[in-house]
Structure 1
Amino acid sequence: MNSAEIKLRKAEIEDREIIWEMIQQSIERRRQDGSTQWQNGYPNINTVESDIAKGFGYILTVDGEPAVYSALILNDEPAYSTIEGAWLSNGEFVVVHRVAIDEKFAGQGLVKKLFDHIEEFTKSHGIQSVKVDTNHDNIAMLKILESKGYSYCGEVVLAGGIRKAFEKIII
């Protein structure tokens, strides 16, 4: 993995099936882990198509092969305007949603690499911070956020559920 070329690129409509496959694998992993996240029909293929159409979809590739999917949204998450708690900042931010990994790449630290690339992307666009939320029972993501230095800010309500919200100041 160390010698592999890892890049973040925008998702194209041709990537729709591979992204949807990654998300379906993640939905199943959440279910097997006993998590309630993503168990109610969201995200779905329409979510993927919408992400791509709006330019939100990004793919982390390993030697050109899609490995991790994420939606990166600038400054726009209405659910984040109401937080039980407090954000670290109120400047511009990148929202990270819908992180999903292809299972053949699981367990290789690629989601951490994804966050490195997202932080680079954020910095290169002159954006102040990264905001992200996850379910209280998504232990894998909670551990990643902790290891990457994200601060727990409180709770937000998203997709009908209460989510733990995190932020990291980048610049």
Structure 2
Amino acid sequence: MQELDDDFILRRAAISDQEKIWEILQQAIQRRKNDGSNQWQDGYPNSETAIIDIQNKVGFVLEKNNEIAGYAAIIFDVEPAYENIEGKWLSEGEYAVIHRVAISEKFLGQGIATELFLKIEDFVKSNQVMSIKVDTNFDNIQMLKILDKLEYSYCGEVHFRGSPRKAFEKILT
């Protein structure tokens, strides 16, 4: 596994970050649309999503040189949609969930999503949790490539917000 770049900092999002987070989410929504995906094309996520994430202390930003390059929600709680998997998770204990991963247009093609996941993995381990679960749309090719590259295991299908999603888990070591 590659060594983490010290130029990147993962930190909890502040309310002052909300506008930039929403801008990054909007860019990601448009990219999904341009790719022909139906993921995130139904009004979710929206500007309130980032505010709620920040208020719930689950919103995180990845900064490079004091500029927000990416966003993700990291949730240390049971994801109800994951309780009914068509397949089997690798583990049954505590886990962190990653939702709403988005990278700024300015930082595309620089491996930022990979760095974001690596920083999240370290953060999750620092909280003594050794499993990450994540889902994505069947047609989100970029996310599927990242999950494959970082050795997340395909575990089956979950239904999230009424749509089938590919579900993955990684046991952290």
Question: Over the residues paired in the alignment, what is the CA RMSD in angstroms?
Answer: 1.2
Q: How many residues of Structure 1 are paired with residues of Structure 2 in the alignment?
A: 170
Calculate the TM-score normalised by the size of structure 1.
0.97
Superposition deviation, residue 168 in structure 1:
0.2
Superposition deviation, residue 3 in structure 1:
7.3
Query: CA deviation digits over 1:2-36, x for unaligned, max 9?
Result: 97711100000010000000000000000000111
Amino acid at match of 1:86: K
Correspondent of 1:63 among 65, 75, 81: 65
Correspondent of 1:9 among 5, 8, 11: 11
CA distance in 2, matches of 1:93, 1:40: 28
Residue number in structure 2 paired with 1:81: 83
CA distance in 1, matches of 2:43, 2:162: 12
CA distance in 1, matches of 2:89, 2:82: 9
CA distance in 2, matches of 1:4, 1:54: 27
Query: CA deviation digits over 1:111-164, x for unaligned, max 9?
Result: 000111011011111102000000000000000000000000000010121100
Residue number in structure 2 paired with 1:106: 108
Amino acid at match of 1:60: L
CA distance in 2, matches of 1:128, 1:118: 12
Correspondent of 1:137 among 113, 136, 139: 139
CA distance in 1, matches of 2:161, 2:40: 9
Secondary structure, aligned partner of 2:52: helix
CA distance in 2, matches of 1:111, 1:9: 15
Fraction of identical pairs, as percent? 55
Gaps of 5+ in 2: none
CA distance in 1, matches of 2:7, 2:121: 18
Residue number in structure 2 paired with 1:151: 153
Residue number in structure 1 paired with 2:53: 51
Secondary structure, aligned partner of 1:126: coil
Relative to structure 1, the CA distance from residue 4 to residue 84 in structure 2 (aligned partners, 3 Å threshold; closer, same or farther) is: same
Query: CA deviation digits over 1:52-94, x for unaligned, max 9?
Result: 0000000000011000000000022110111000000011111
CA distance in 2, matches of 1:76, 1:44: 22
CA distance in 2, matches of 1:22, 1:31: 14
Alignment check: 8 A CA contact 1:4 1:62 kept? no
